[in-house]
Amino acid sequence: MSSSNWTADFLARLSAGMAVAEIELSSVKLWQIESHAWQRFAELAMQQKLRWAAGWAEHVQNRFFINACFEKQGEYILLRTIIDDSNPELPSQATVYPAANRSERHTQDMFGIRFIGHPDNRRWTRHQAWIENSYPLRKDFPVQGMPVGITPPDMHYPFIKSHGAGTYEIPVGPVHAGIIEPGHFRFQAVGELILNLEERLGYVHKGIEKIAEGREPESLARLAGRVSGDTTVGHCWAACMAMEWAAGITVPPRASFIRGILAERERVANHMGDIGAICNDVAFVFAQMQFTRLRELWLRTNATVFGHRLLMDRIIPGGVACDLSDESCTLIKKEIVELRKELDEVILAIDLNSSLEDRLYTAGFLSEEIAAAFGTLGYVGRASGQDKDVRRDAPYAPYDQATVKVGVENQGDIASRLWVRYKEIRAALRLIEGFIDQLVAGDIRSEWRIPPAGSEGLGIVEGWRGEIICHIRFDADNKIARFYPRDPSQLNWPALEKLVLNNIVPDFPVCNKSLNGSYSGNDL
């Protein structure tokens, strides 16, 4: 995240039209502007091809800190404005960046901040759970809430209605036939052709942002690891990175390499599961069985070496909770050799299956333009030409000592999303081997230092679904004042509404699986 010419040039352009205060926040630049210039900044950022990456708010005494994170060429800008909480309103950035739409709606529901000119100000997160004019993330809202009996059903959400001869609606969910988490999908179709899809998420608001307040670092790290259970390493790492920045702590080199091994093992396990599930959704059960078997063996090694199949709570503030013995390193390397042989055989069966190609190629098409407009991340973005990866573009330890090969496709269909996953598995295996070879003797945890009240940090890592951004602010006595995690799914979910258009209704399950957004990562 080193300084570059574009940031200096952009700051000069901004300063010509608005007052900008520049503050260094670890390796990220913090620019503070007046509230009336909030939308104007977004317009200038769009002209300069900055990517909108995240947005959140904080309630600090009688004011709101409104934050938005932008990125270009691996450099991140944290934009901030401060408004009074007596009549909080702000120009909407969603009029410029579609990616900001749902984030602003979440902020509206949780804090009561009105975004002027927002293209869609329907309630997004609250789902009838709180009475009107109650905002759970304001400091005066009790953590236990204000229950008033049974929450009324969310029956009157104003979905877009279908019109015209031959069109009809299909409601799917929020309770599904499988074991997936709740989400509602409202289709408009004619015959079997999908004309429109509208998502309704947020049915399980867990209160993670609220119950984070007052926790100490180790407790916060455990909570972060449960934002989305399949991304426990990614979210925990981002939270620990943010806390370590705030506290001025450097992680020991050995711990950094172990963190990298953990993250890549999480990536491999999930991609294997996804490839099998995509094949299963079009009835190619053989591939699903094989990838499930390979994933299970991989998870058993996790349990043997690290003590947990899904690697929960292995990353802690200041380092890691487990070391790697020489015997464990040998076991991991041996497993990688065997997995490569198995993958070569299974992937050949997929590649030569013509009926599988008929279902995956050209289906679920997401254009490069739409992928860029919605800020799609990870394999969803990379399958549509978005060549971005935090590990390579803004490297953090141990990736700053490795060559990260990023697989990119530009066909934008389900097949591309499958092949990007496969490429990422192969790249992850090479990274794990390299990190083991680079392991140095030493500590696996640095001593914690209590940060001053008001200290803040930003953690940015490449999770298996893509870029994860985490912001943390400390209160006094080592307590957390604000925790905001942005899962990649928050930016990827809206893309599903676009990539299913002009597909047939029976192809929705495989389109959905090819994106595989996290409900839990969206429902904070």
pLDDT at 86: 87
And the tokens for 431?
A: 């990274």
Helix (H) or strand (E) holding 115: strand 114-116
pLDDT at 175: 87
Average pLDDT over residues 295-310: 97
Q: SS3 for 445? A: strand
Digit-coded pLDDT (tens) for 470-502: 999 999 999 999 999 999 999 999 999 999 999
Residues with Cβ within 8 Å of 21's Cβ and at least 6 positions away in sequence, in order, are 31, 32, 33
The pLDDT value recorded for residue 88 is: 93
Per residue in 401-411, pLDDT tens?
999 999 999 99
Residue 126 confidence (pLDDT)? 78
Taking the C-alpha atoms of residue 376 and residue 429, their distance in angstroms, rounded to an integer, is 24
Angle at 394 between CA 388 and CA 399, to 5 degrees: 100
pLDDT digits over 93-126, tens only?
A: 999 999 999 999 999 999 999 999 999 988 888 7
Q: Is the dihedral of CA 46, 51, 53, 59 positive or negative?
A: negative
Answer whether 459's CB lies under 8 Å from 220's CB: no
The arrangement of strands across the sheet holding 184-190 comes to 167-172, 184-190, 193-200
Contact between 12 and 79 (Cβ < 8 Å): no
CA–CA distance, 112 with 309 (Å, rounded to integer): 40
Convert the pLDDT of each residue in 137-189 to its tens digit.
999 888 887 777 777 777 888 898 888 888 999 999 888 877 788 899 999 99
User: What residue has token string 């198995």?
Assistant: 342
C-alpha distances (whole Å) from 277 to each of 290, 443, 512 are: 11, 40, 11
Whether the pLDDT of residue 243 is over 50: the answer is yes
Among 471, 486, 497, which Cα is nearest to 521's?
Answer: 486
What is the per-residue pLDDT across 389-436, written as a single tens digit (0 to 9) for each? 999 999 999 999 999 999 999 999 999 999 999 999 999 999 999 999
For residue range 440-456, what is the model confidence (pLDDT) as tens digits?
Answer: 999 999 999 999 999 99
How far apart CA 146 and CA 470 sit, in angstroms, is 28
- Has residue 201 got a pLDDT over 60? yes
Rounded CA separation 141/133 (Å): 11
- Predicted confidence band at 4 (pLDDT cuts at 50, 70, 90)? low
Percentage above 70 pLDDT, the chain? 99
8 A C-beta contact, residue 74 and residue 389: no
Nearest by Cα to 197 from 159, 150, 167, 166: 159
3-state percent helix, strand, coil for the chain, nearest multiple of 5: 45, 20, 40
DSSP 37: G
Q: Which two tokens stand for residue 306?
A: 């690290």
Is the distance from CB of 52 to CB of 97 less than 8 angstroms?
A: yes
What six digits make up the tokens of 25?
């926040």
**pLDDT tens digits along 41-90:** 999 999 999 999 999 999 998 999 999 999 999 999 999 999 998 889 99
Residues 6+ apart with CB under 8 A from 253: 397, 398, 440, 442
Query: What is the pLDDT, as a whole number, of residue 431?
Result: 98
Q: Give residue 26's pLDDT.
A: 67
What pLDDT shows up at residue 294?
A: 97
Q: Name residue, tokens 């401060």.
A: 82
Residue 19 has pLDDT above 90, yes or no: no
What does the pLDDT read at residue 202? 87
pLDDT at position 1: 38
**Whether 288 contacts 281, CB under 8 Å:** no
Is 50 exceeded by the pLDDT of residue 344? yes
Residue 23 has pLDDT above 50, yes or no: yes
The full set of domains in the chain, from first to last, is: 5-116 (3.30.460.80), 212-249+450-486 (no CATH), 259-307+322-447 (1.10.645.10)
Q: What is the pLDDT of residue 123?
A: 87
Q: Is 353 exposed, middle or buried (0-12, 13-18, 19+ CB in 10 A)?
A: middle
Average pLDDT, integer, range 321-345: 96
d(CA 292, CA 273): 6
Contact 57, 105 (CB under 8 A): no
Distance CA 170, CA 509 (A): 14
Distance, CA of 478 to CA of 214 (rounded, Å): 9
Give the pair of three-digit tokens for residue 427: 């790249």
Which pLDDT band, with edges at 50, 70 and 90, does 2 fall under?
very low
* C-beta of residue 507 within 8 angstroms of C-beta of residue 188: no
Whether 233 and 431 have beta carbons less than 8 Å apart is answered as no
Measure the CA–CA gap between 36 and 81, rounded to whole angstroms.
9
Mean pLDDT for the stretch of residues 25-30: 78
The share of the chain scoring above pLDDT 90, in percent, equals 80
Distance, in Å, from the CA atom of 462 to the CA atom of 282, rounded to the nearest integer, reads: 29
